[in-house]
Each structure stands twice: as C-alpha cells, then as structure tokens.
Amino acid sequence: MGPISFWGNVVPRAFERIGGTVLGSILGLIALQLELISLPLMLVWCAAAMFLCGWLALGKKPYQGLLIGVTLAIVVGSPTGEIDTALWRSGDVLLGSLLAMLFTGIWPQRAFIHWRIQLAKSLTEYNRVYQSAFSPNLLERPRLESHLQKLLTDAVKMRGLIAPASKETRIPKSIYEGIQTINRNLVCMLELQINAYWATRPSHFVLLNAQKLRDTQHMMQQILLSLVHALYEGNPQPVFANTEKLNDAVEELRQLLNNHHDLKVVETPIYGYVWLNMETAHQLELLSNLICRALRK
C-alpha cells in the first residue's frame, strides 16, 4: 500500500487485496484436499487457478490476480494434509491486508482536496497573468510566455488527480474532464487575446479606451476570484451569481463589437480580441456551472 497516496486509490486497492487473498486461500485449501485424492488432479486445479490469475492480471484487476497467485502459492506450500497450517497462513495474509488498510486510512490524503487546491492555484495564477497582460499602465507588450507555459503544465499535471478524486466523491469523471478542458481552453484563449491586444498600436488604443471592455475585464477578474474562494472553502455559494453577470458581459461585448462595425482601420485585431473576450466569458460561465456541480456533491 506504500506507493498509493490518495484515499480514492487506497480503498479499491485494499478491497482487491482482501478479495484476492480470500479467493486465493479458498483455491489453495481446495488444492490441498485434492492432493489427498490425486496429485495430478491437484496440479490441474492449480493450473486452472493460474489461468484465472493471468486472466485477471491482463484485465482490469491485475493486483487482485497477483494476490490470488501469491496466496495460492503460500497455502499450497503447506505440508500435505495440514489444513491448520494452511488456514493460519491464509489468516496471516488476510490480517496483513487489513493492517495495511488500517494504517493507510489513519491519515489518508484526499485527492479531491488536492484537486480543489491545485485548480484554485491555477485560476489565481491565470488571474495574475490576465491582469498583467491587459494592464492600462503598460507601454509595451509584457513577456509572459513562461507564465503561460507554466499554466499549461500545471493543467496537465492536474489530470492525475481526476481518477482518485472521482472515486472518493462519486462525482462523474466527465465533470472533472470538462473542468480540465475549460481550464486548458482559457489558457490558450488568453495567449490569443494577448496577441490581438498588442497586435498594432492603433487597435491597441481603441481597445484601451473602450470603457465597456475594461468593465467587462474587471468583472471577469472578480468572477475568477470568487471561483478561487469557492474552491478553497469547498462552498459553491460565491459562484451562484456568476451566470447572470457573465450573460450581461457577453451582451455588452456584442454591443461593443457592433459599435466598431464600420471601423476600417486594423479591424481584425479588434474583432478578434472582443470575440475572444466573449468566448472567455462563455467558458467562465461553463466553468462556474461545473464547479458548482462538483462542490455540491
């Protein structure tokens, strides 16, 4: 049980270990009884048991197949006809499994808590990069490539927590996968937003002087902070009001896009940046809904 760190992995592995031990003990006791009747019959029985172990090992329960084979070998190693020794050996293996589960469960790590903390840290770092990239006090484009790469790397590392967290909370893996996808999409769109925002000097000044756009950016930063607060506390209440705010933000951005429809100079960066802001608001709305579903479980 040593390399298993999260409770979501410990419990299934412990039950596989106990089940494999019990089944291996039963097969071993039957083999000892068959040995009193016929040694070839016992060997055939053990061969069939080994086939079962191999089938499980190549399937979805390799650890259970391994434990069946190990326990069978320990029990069959008893002297001929000494059932008491075989029972003691079976009990020793079963007791070891129970002790492993007991000591592992004294202070287990919760993958769901680690996942919440990692996601909160990722959104906090995303918010910092967002503020740094679109600050009105900057005169030239900031160098944020390393920060964006770190955001993507952290998002990939979080995938290892999805399976144990889903086992701990019984939350469908599709919810975690959806949050993972949106988190990655936000980082990719942020890089595109930065490119559009700093594409040309005239378009940059147009975007810089758009009051509705700045208000929308400030609101999205506040929503990111509310998501971080909800993840740290495990309480979905701060996220409930996000949907209506984000819908209003999308409408304001669409209106801003229509206002600059007749602009002939460098319109592509402006349209691209505003459209990416609309998509970011939409992705934040989906992220808020999925986080609420995850925290309500």
- CATH code of residue 282: 1.20.58.220
Identify whether residues 62 and 182 lie together within a single domain.
no
From 97-106, 233-242, 279-288, the region with the lowest mean pLDDT: 233-242
For residues 207 and 81, membership in a common domain is answered with no
Average pLDDT of the segment spanning 55-67: 81
Question: Average pLDDT, stretch 106-111?
Answer: 73
Domain closes at, from 77, 104, 131: 104
Percent share of the chain, pLDDT over 90 = 8
pLDDT given at position 266: 44
pLDDT class for 36, splitting at 50, 70, 90?
Answer: confident
pLDDT at 244: 58
Task: Tell whether 27 and 120 lie within a shared domain.
Answer: no
pLDDT (average), residues 181-194: 91
User: Residue 1 domain-assigned?
Assistant: no
- As given in the structure block, the two tokens for residue 157 are 């590392």
Average pLDDT over the chain, rounded to whole? 79
Query: Which pLDDT band holds residue 1 (cuts at 50, 70, 90)?
Result: very low
Same domain, 55 and 141: no
| pLDDT score for 261 | 56
32/157 same-domain check: no
pLDDT, residue 2, reads 47
177 vs 139, residue with greater confidence: 177
Q: What does the alpha-carbon distance between residue 205 and residue 48 come to, in Å, rounded to a whole number?
A: 77
Domain hosting 151: range is: 111-296
pLDDT value, residue 293: 85
- C-alpha 137/C-alpha 208 separation (Å) is 10
Residue 229 shares a structural domain with residue 89 = no
The verdict on 165 and 87 lying in the same domain is: no
Mean pLDDT of 132-161: 86
Residues 239 and 167 in one domain: yes
Task: Choose the final residue of a domain: 61, 89, 104.
Answer: 104
How many alpha carbons lie under 13 Å from residue 194 in its C-beta half-sphere? 22
Same domain, 83 and 115: no
Tell me the β-bridge partners of 109.
Answer: 6
- Percent of the chain topping pLDDT 70: 79
Q: Residue 115 carries which side chain, given as an amino acid letter?
A: W
Pair 95, 219 in one domain: no
Q: Are residues 69 and 185 in the same domain?
A: no
Do 116 and 93 belong to one domain?
no
What's the pLDDT at 254?
Answer: 67
Start-to-end CA distance of the chain, whole Å, equals 28
Task: Please give the residue that has the higher pLDDT: either 92 or 162.
Answer: 162
The predicted model scores a pTM of 0.69
Average pLDDT over residues 84-103: 73
CA dihedral 213, 219, 222, 227 (to 10 degrees): -110
SS3 of the chain: the string is CCCCCEHHHHHHHHHHHHHHHHHHHHHHHHHHHHHHHCHHHHHHHHHHHHHHHHHHHCCCCHHHHHHHHHHHHHHHCCCCCCHHHHHHHHHHHHHHHHHHHHHHCCCCECHHHHHHHHHHHHHHHHHHHHHHHCCCCCCCCCCCHHHHHHHHHHHHHHHHHHHHHHHHHCCCHHHHHHHHHHHHHHHHHHHHHHHHHCCCHHHHHHHHCCHHHHHHHHHHHHHHHHHHHHHHHCCCHHHCCHHHHHHHHHHHHHHHHHHCCCCCCCHHHHHHHHHHHHHHHHHHHHHHHHHHHHHHC
| Count of alpha carbons within 13 angstroms of residue 178, beta-carbon side | 17
